[in-house]
Amino acid sequence: MGFSNQHLLQPFTTRQVYSLLAVNKNKPFELYLCEKPSQGRDIAKALGISQRNDGYLQGNGILVSWCIGHLLEMVPPDAYDDRYKRWSLQDLPILPQQWKLTAKKSTRKQLTVIKKLLKQAHSVVIATDADREGETIAREVLEHLKFRGATRRLWLSALDPISIQRALNSIRNSQETLPLYHSGLARGRADWLIGMNLTRAYTILGSDRQVRSVGRVQTPTLALIVNRDREISNFNAVPYYEIEALFQTKSKVESQTKSQTKGQNHQEKPTDNIQLLETKWLFPAAKKNQDEAAKHCLDKQLAQGVIERCQNQYGIVSTASTQRKKLPPPLLYNLSGLQQEASRRWTYGAQEVLNIAQALYETHKLTTYPRSDCEYLPLSQFNDVSQVFQSLCKNDPTICHLLSQANQQQRSRVWNDKKITAHHAIIPTQAAVTGGINKLNNKERNVYDLIRRRYIAQFFPDYEYDQSIILITIQSDQFKASGRIPRMQGWKQAIGTGLSSNKKSAANEKELPAVEKGEQLLCDRLDLKNKLTQPPKHFTEGTLIKAMETIGSQVIDKVMKKILRETAGLGTQATRANIIQTLFQRKYIMKDKKFIKASTLGFALCDAVPETIKDPLLTAQWEQQLDDIANNKGQDISGFLQQQISLLKAIISRIKQPAAKTSRQQELTQYKAGDPCPDCGHPLEIRQAIRGKKIGQNYIGCSRFPECRFYSWS
């Protein structure tokens, strides 16, 4: 089974438009096919079209219509063969040879409208959302209705009048965005293969008539939550010990000396204006990338020995440094960053933030396209800064004073053409809307404020602070004090208080007493602090989005690390919120205040499915391959889907014959993890096939791979 490319929608040039108008009198229209009615109305207005009809607008030789999201859906297994109405393991895996789509009942009327319009159209401008999903929504309709005319692509980043007009003036060749459609087809078909087959398989195995929904991205996301919950549940707090030490500064010693010369009691407390230097003992065994408990002193006697050695002893200042440091403005928001910040500040849900961002973009026209994965802007948009500022001021006069302090000529690191993906970061538009931000509800105003302030911050100086570090040595023991003093607020005055601060950094903002390297300081007091190691925290929607987004950076396996890019994640900017929402709807997860926890049903499903299906790294690799298809980087639909089919066949085979082993397999199981490699002597380890016919299966391989390529199938 492969990708059947019956017809590729052809690009359309301006010259061809006029040529076709001349020769094809029966098809006098060009059709703009949008994703939603509101989007269609905005584009029609920019085109000067106002004649309304049922499901479309018309004027000036142009038709504007819309899809209302996906008008088509993939058919269920029983639409391929009646025998699939009965769920049976023997029928699995179900592998369609010719993929079928059918009209959705709820939007069938609109599909009929588009079918009628296409018969009158010599060409189509695809004007759906500028992403993989938008491309698929339009092109699958054109394929389904067998449209054979030429096509162009309208690529919109915002729906305010200025942005629409710019896009209309530079309509793209549709061939440029065709790979997005291929990626959308691959994603939809892979999700169908995994979802339909494994949902049936594990529902049948359950024997309780409870449907166990399995998904290509949904199940690995559930596994992240289940694993975190179990890590917390199985966590055993370990006691450890910290030592806080106070050292007398030179000023205090002098104060006491003066007091003693006057005949006063040398035990007298120092005056209020004299500070003690607060330090912490540095546990010498603590290293980066260690287990949390190993970073702490677990031996109380060892800690007590430090106190006995150092009490009333003089220490030498080995380091006394203060450096002026600068921090540039934070990058602009992409959707994940916006979801994480709104979750942290107001516990907004991921889908809720997406809906708000969509409303700001689509309804209010105040911000750009929200489903972006980019945090940068193209250099060409630097020319728009003045107009954006003017619109910000008109929409909300209370922010004009802040804007007057900004340097509009300052170009921060966000202006970088090399960092632009399909879209740029989410920013305010040039739209000055009637009523301004007074039209927004509280939540919309909060999210809009995040977006505009992050943009404004780009035109303020760096935040500057003095970082001080003092190290004091008493024999083999070291004590450290650090402090950070803000010197120039810079962009932080644009961001506003609380948006980027946290308790840890606030606690560190203190000025240290002035000491000099080589100076001797008396250890005044040492306090032993009894502590307990803390378990990780349950996910919030914001931290789960972060974990899904950055799964590629968490790779330890050397082979997978070579294959998986750091940017690889679970799902995409556009789909992550929906994945989390689906897990809630299917009752696999639940909310406990702001935290997400797995339900009993979620634990049961995660325990039932094989490791391959719930492995976030393998799924992230698949998402990376879909991205390569979308960017025309050598990956194709057939190869990608063949991996899913190979995986399915292996899993279904194991379900049907869980105990079956060939003599060859029995022979190879003589090797196990930890044994010396027979070729080079290095330890063997368990690996997982990520390519080929045995994708997803475990095998024993040499830890020295790729230098040594010994392996044995388990």
- Reported as a single tens digit per residue, the pLDDT across 661-683 is 444 444 444 677 777 776 666 78
Q: Assign 51 to helix, strand or coil.
A: strand
Q: How far is CA 101 from the centre of its chain?
A: 31
| From 63-77, 140-154, 205-219, 250-264, the region with the lowest mean pLDDT | 250-264
Q: For 181-235+545-585+601-658, CATH number?
A: 1.10.460.10
pLDDT at 139: 97
How confident is residue 703, by pLDDT bands cut at 50, 70 and 90?
confident
Mean of per-residue pLDDT scores for the chain: 86
pLDDT at 504: 54
Higher pLDDT, 624 or 343: 343
pLDDT at 672: 75
Widest CA span in the chain: 114
Angle at alpha carbon of residue 289, lines to 286 and 291, rounded to 5°: 70
> If you search the block for the tokens 């109405």, which residue do you land on?
85
| From 105-109, 517-521, 642-646, the region with the lowest mean pLDDT | 642-646
Instruction: For residues 638 and 89, give the distance between their C-alpha atoms in angstroms, rounded to a whole number.
Output: 25
pLDDT at 502: 53
Instruction: For residues 517 and 317, give the distance between their C-alpha atoms in angstroms, rounded to a whole number.
Output: 5
Q: Nearest to residue 71, comparing CAs of 37, 47, 24?
A: 37
Q: Which of 240, 361, 369, 376 is catalytic?
A: 369
Tell me the HSE value of 614 on the side-chain side, using a 13 A CA sphere: 19
For 638-650, b/e burial (b = at least 16 CB within 10 A) is: eebbbbbbbbbbb
Provide the percentage of residues in the chain whose pLDDT is more than 90: 66
Instruction: For residues 540 and 548, give the distance between their C-alpha atoms in angstroms, rounded to a whole number.
Output: 12
pLDDT at 15: 53
Structure tokens at 188: 């939809």
Structure tokens at 679: 């070729």
Given a contact cutoff of 8 angstroms between Cβ atoms, the answer to whether 357 and 370 are in contact is yes
Residue 343 has pLDDT above 70, yes or no: yes
Extract the runs of DSSP E, i.e. beta strands, from 391-476: 463-474
Query: What does the pLDDT look like over 275-314, one tens digit per residue?
Result: 789 999 999 876 554 566 678 999 999 999 999 999 999 9
pLDDT at 13: 55
pLDDT at 8: 38
Query: What does the pLDDT look like over 580-624, one tens digit per residue?
Result: 999 999 999 999 999 999 999 999 999 888 888 888 888 888 888
Query: What does the pLDDT look like over 16-33, one tens digit per residue?
Result: 555 554 445 578 999 999
Respond yes or no: is residue 202 known to be catalytic: no
Q: Nearest to residue 482, comparing CAs of 466, 495, 493, 469?
A: 469
Q: What is the pTM of this model?
A: 0.80
Query: What does the pLDDT look like over 459-468, one tens digit per residue?
Result: 999 999 999 9
676 secondary structure, DSSP code: B
Query: What does the pLDDT look like over 162-217, one tens digit per residue?
Result: 999 999 999 999 999 999 999 999 999 999 999 999 999 999 887 777 888 999 89
Element (H, E) at 637: helix 637-656
Give span(s): CATH 1.10.290.10, the chain: 335-459
Instruction: For residues 359 and 366, give the distance between their C-alpha atoms in angstroms, rounded to a whole number.
Output: 9
Provide the percentage of residues in the chain whose pLDDT is more than 70: 85
Q: Nearest to residue 189, comparing CAs of 638, 666, 657?
A: 638
Residue 265 has pLDDT above 80, yes or no: no
Instruction: For residues 228 and 539, give the distance between their C-alpha atoms in angstroms, rounded to a whole number.
Output: 8
The CATH-assigned architecture of domain 335-459 is Orthogonal Bundle (1.10)
| From 132-141, 342-351, 569-578, the region with the lowest mean pLDDT | 569-578
Amino acid at 683: P
How confident is residue 691, by pLDDT bands cut at 50, 70 and 90?
low
Instruction: For residues 206 and 199, give the distance between their C-alpha atoms in angstroms, rounded to a whole number.
Output: 11
Residue 153 has pLDDT above 70, yes or no: yes
Q: For 10-176, CATH number?
A: 3.40.50.140
For β-strands 463-474 and 150-153, DSSP reports them as unpaired
Structure tokens at 102: 């059918």
Residue 556 has pLDDT above 50, yes or no: yes
Query: What does the pLDDT look like over 359-394, one tens digit per residue?
Result: 999 999 999 999 999 999 999 999 999 999 999 999
> What is the third-level CATH fold of 239-260+272-322+466-484+499-532?
Topoisomerase I; domain 3 (2.70.20)
pLDDT at 663: 42
Give span(s): CATH 3.40.50.140, the chain: 10-176
Residue 253 has pLDDT above 50, yes or no: no
Residue 1 has pLDDT above 50, yes or no: no
- For the segment 130-149, the average pLDDT, to the nearest whole number, is 95
